[in-house]
A and B are shown apart, each in its own frame.
Chain A
Amino acid sequence: MGTFHDDKGELHGITVVVDTTGSRVFIGRCDTMTDAGIVLLDADEHDSTTGTSKEDYVKKAARVGIWKKHDRVALTRDEFTTVKPLGEFTA
């Protein structure tokens, strides 16, 4: 997976879904993933307490993509539970 930059983790360059321990889920292009955490570029953020569930939000994003809210998002390892390529959610 990914390309070129081995030091940035195997998901470098891939659009990923990052589920957090709370109500938020992030989708963005993985820049770096290490034991310390993950950095996303051109990322969207969704809070499932605002109405749409995490699952429905990801399902829609898998169909058409995301509208970015953040140029860069950094999450520490204890802030998220899973990281998966958005492409894996495409039906």
Chain B
Amino acid sequence: MPYDPLLVQPMREELTQIGVQELLTAQDVDSFLGDKAGTAMIVVNSVCGCAAGQARPGVALALQHDHKPEKVGTVFAGQDLEATSKARSLFADYPPSSPSIVLFKDGKVVHFVPRHQIENRDAGSLAAELTAAFDKHCASATSR
């Protein structure tokens, strides 16, 4: 059963306030990744305190980096069920995991951070992993 939307709202805003696009429906996800060219990142947000509590600030920190994905979207697992299911269908080779972070390049997954790799990690450490992936996959796109 989904959590109270009022409880979840601040967790959504941690990402939307830094410019991450909220994807609430399957159509939102389709539109977001409709154009597969370039780089994109999807953050599968969740209520989980062990992991999501560090995932959101880690993403926020990483997005201050010079190189970053051309677009960044988020679905909320356990809340926006249709959008989450649609998003997961785009990286169906990976087991469902929330929170998790997926980096795409030209429509293909190039970096995946599942929940267990976020648990008990601090935001700085997660950001370091993400920025390393951005440097590897997004550098040319950012400088376009």
Q: Could you list which residues of chain A lie within 8 angstroms of chain B, going by C-beta atoms?
A: 1-4, 12-15, 62, 64-68, 85-87, 90
Contact = CB atoms under 8 A, between A and B. Distances in A.
Nearest to A90: B117
Contacts of A14: 50, 116, 119-120
B97 interface: yes
A66 B48 CA distance: 17
Contact of A87 (B48, B53, B95, B117): B117
A68 B114 CA distance: 14
B115 to A, nearest CB: 6
Interface of B: 48-51, 53, 94-95, 97, 100, 112, 114-117, 119-121
Contacts, number: 46
Contact of A1 (B95, B100, B120): B120
A87 B121 CA distance: 9
Nearest to B51: A13
Given A13-B119, A14-B120, A65-B116, A3 B50 contact: yes
Nearest to A67: B95
Given A13-B119, A64-B95, A4 B114 contact: no
B94 A87 contact: no
Given A3-B50, A66-B95, A86-B116, 5 more contacts: A2-B50, A14-B119, A64-B94, A65-B95, A87-B116
